[in-house]
A and B are shown apart, each in its own frame.
Chain A
Amino acid sequence: MELLRQTVWLLRKDLLLELRRRESVVAMFFFGTLLLFVFHFAFEIPPDRAAAMAPGLLWLAFIFTGTLGLTQLFQAERENHCLEALLLGPMDRAALYLAKVSFNLFLMLLVEVIIFPLFWILFNLAFWELLPSLFLVALLGTMGFCVLGTLFSAVTLKARARELLLPLILFPLMIPVILATVRGMEILLRTGQFEEAVPWLRLLVGFDVIFLTAGFLIFEWVIEA
């Protein structure tokens, strides 16, 4: 209960800071939109190739945008040595992890809600009725990205070239999430059957649960190292 209370306080603090500064969400949104336009001018997606190409491009836009958000995730804690202030107290370190995962997930979903329909419009894709199912797959993939990304954002917190280091160590470990999300979306677009994509969704749920648990358990050692 104490953990939940501390998590809520930390999440409230992050949301309040973001609401006032709007640094991360604005940067992520513009970067994501910019990527969509670059893809739009670089690729032509013929209707018969949409199922094969759209998920990969869309997910590329999400992970690049998400990485931008991850590099800013602990920015408030870096100013004025606020991380020290948090670690000085008796607060459960896992609360900080859960709050940062939730905050990162919120930001990414906010950006995805805008980017998803924009992508569909830009590439003149059909399958509008599949958007809710596709968004569910993206939600699980985004969750995986956030649980692992938050952990590695903390790992690289004290590194000198953290903006360079973070994607280098994060992307190889993200391969199962990228694969499962892209394949799940592709199957959905190709068959229109949600059941066909369930095996990939199971993989995503497994990944999310395993890394959320691992992050929850080891975050104390990561952040205090």
Chain B
Amino acid sequence: MRIVIRGLSKSYGLVWALKQTDLVLEPGECIALLGPNGAGKSTLLGLLSALLHPTTGEVLIDGQRLDQGSSPLRSAIGLLTPSGHLYEGLTLRENLHLFNSLYGVKKSPQEIDEALDTVGLGRWREEYVSALSSGMKCRLGIGKWLLLQPQFLLLDEPYGVLDGSGVDLLESYLKRLCRSGGTVVMATHHVSRILTLCSRALILRRGELIFDEPRQQPWESFHRTFAEFLPRGDQWSS
């Protein structure tokens, strides 16, 4: 999917969380969205998923304007958060069944069970989500998007809650998605991890896009720009 962002900005009262951002995200790209706390990463994800109204500007997906409301374009957008956006009082299987039905995706109980097995939660399929740990909820979120198959996937800090095999699972899914022409944007603070995966990096600072380059080796420009956001004494190496 080709996503065009034109003059996108968002203000909360007098505070500009995102300022006049222009971007083009090409199919197959895996984009790292980086920056310190309050840089506007989550706001940009919110605008790209149409969960937030832009103050100015627009987002075009394959030439079609993304608006709030029940647009069919939304079937193509996924948002993976650590909480997984899941109902605590429903079982794992019921959650997946519910979201598949609401998205109009027909999946058999066997396919749902297979997805749960893939994300390593097959044993817990009849458990309530409230019984899961944060990492397991994130895995279930991955299972949900495996079934719904969005072509534009946004991720908000998923690494923090996943264990080693969870990270492998997520990254293999993201690589597959990008190979099939999907677009991925991941906001994270796990820089070294995302840099092994991404094909392009964006850095935001106080709502402004200050860096946008495809990945290269060595990547001195990234090193220079990102150095100011590292903890004192830390150094980043590619």
Interface of A with B (CB < 8 Å)? 2, 5-6, 9-10, 13, 16-17, 20-21, 76, 79-82, 84-93, 220, 224
Contacts and interface: CB of A to CB of B under 8 A. Distances in A.
Contact of A88 (B72, B85, B137): B85
Contact of B70 (A9, A79, A93): A93
B69 A224 contact: yes
Contacts of B51: 84, 87-88
A89 B103 contact: yes
Q: Is the interface of A mostly helix, strand, loop or mixed?
A: helix
Given A88-B74, A89-B103, A91-B70, 16 more contacts: A9-B98, A9-B102, A16-B90, A17-B87, A20-B89, A76-B88, A81-B81, A82-B85, A84-B51, A85-B99, A86-B102, A87-B51, A88-B51, A91-B102, A92-B70, A93-B69
Nearest to B141: A85
Contacts, number: 81
B177 interface: no
Interface of B: 49-51, 53, 68-75, 77-79, 81, 83-90, 94, 98-99, 101-104, 129, 137
A88 B94 contact: no
A86 to B, nearest CB: 7
Nearest to B97: A9
Given A87-B51, A89-B75, A13 B87 contact: yes
20 contacts: A2-B104, A9-B98, A9-B101, A13-B98, A16-B89, A20-B89, A76-B87, A76-B89, A81-B85, A82-B85, A82-B86, A84-B51, A84-B85, A87-B51, A88-B77, A88-B79, A90-B71, A90-B103, A92-B70, A220-B69
Nearest to A94: B70
Contacts of B84: 80
A17 B89 contact: yes
Given A2-B104, A90-B72, A80 B83 contact: yes
Q: Is the interface of B mostly helix, strand, loop or mixed?
A: loop
A91 B105 CA distance: 12
- For the complex of A and B, the 8 pairs showing the least CB-CB separation, nearest first, are A85-B85, A90-B74, A17-B89, A224-B68, A80-B83, A9-B101, A91-B102, A90-B75
A50 B71 CA distance: 54
A87 B51 CA distance: 7
B102 to A, nearest CB: 5
Given A13-B98, A89-B99, A91-B102, A80 B68 contact: no
Please indicate which of the listed interface residues A2, A81, A87, A89 has the most CB atoms of chain B within 10 Å of its own CB. Answer: A89
Given A89-B75, A90-B74, A92-B70, A80 B88 contact: yes
Please indicate which of the listed interface residues A20, A79, A84, A85 has the most CB atoms of chain B within 10 Å of its own CB. Answer: A85
A19 to B, nearest CB: 9
Contacts of A76: 87-89
A93 to B, nearest CB: 6
B70 A90 contact: yes
Contacts of B102: 6, 9-10, 86, 89, 91
B86 A80 contact: yes
Given A17-B90, A79-B88, A93-B69, A88 B83 contact: no
Nearest to A225: B53
Contacts of A80: 83-88, 129, 137
Contacts of A17: 87, 89-90
Contacts of B81: 81
